[in-house]
Amino acid sequence: GNVAGWPAKAFDAKVLDEAMGDSIGKTDVPVSSKVSLKAPTIAENGGAVPVTIEVDSPMTADDYISTVWLFVDHNPTPLASQFTFTPACGKAYIQERIKMAKTDNVRVVAKTNKGELMASAPREVKVTIGGCGG
């Protein structure tokens, strides 16, 4: 069974808008250069795509990033991860590896302790058959 406190509704949502609505409560979030999302342009292994998230914030008791959500637009369940930070982190920073079945967009939304929302630009990761080379 599910672990207590795990946000099942948002994680079970099958389309991006629904997943965003159930997690963030909004589907349109302005893009901010403060939200950085790094991912390879072409996936080496769609089963393990490294992503690095970093949100620019002082991370002090009265000004910090409280929550970050990571989405893969067309995954069977688009919400991939939810991170709840504290000021003690010093940096809103995460690196992990995720699954992508096909060429798709990865995106991140961050929320400050004051409730302000900001998103990364969507980042396209290409999943290809590959082959050939120079």
Please select the residue that binds another protein; options are 9, 26, 86, 116, rule is CB under 8 A: 86
Residue 85 binds which entry of another protein, Mn ion, none, with Cβ cut-offs from 5 to 8 Å by kind? another protein
115 makes contact with another protein (CB under 8 A): no
Is 64 a binder of another protein (CB under 8 A)?
no
Which residue, among 114, 115, 94, has the nearest Cα to 106 in the 3D structure? 94
**Strand pairing report for 92-98 and 123-125:** unpaired
83, 68 Cβ separation under 8 angstroms: yes
96, 118, 119, 84: which is closest to 39 by C-alpha? 96
Q: Is 63 in the site for another protein (CB under 8 A)?
A: no
**How many chain residues touch another protein (CB under 8 A)?**
50
Residue 57 engages another protein in binding (rule: CB under 8 A):
no
Q: Work out whether 62 is an interface residue with another protein (CB under 8 A).
A: no
Q: Encoding tokens for residue 61?
A: 């008791």
82 binds another protein (CB under 8 A): yes
- Closest CA relative to residue 81, chosen from 124, 51, 123: 51
Phi and psi (nearest 5°) for 31?
Answer: -75, 135
Where do contacts with Mn ion occur on this chain (CB under 5 A)? 134
Where do contacts with another protein occur on this chain (CB under 8 A)? 1-3, 5-7, 11, 38, 40-45, 47-50, 59, 72, 75-77, 79-86, 88-91, 93-99, 126, 128-134
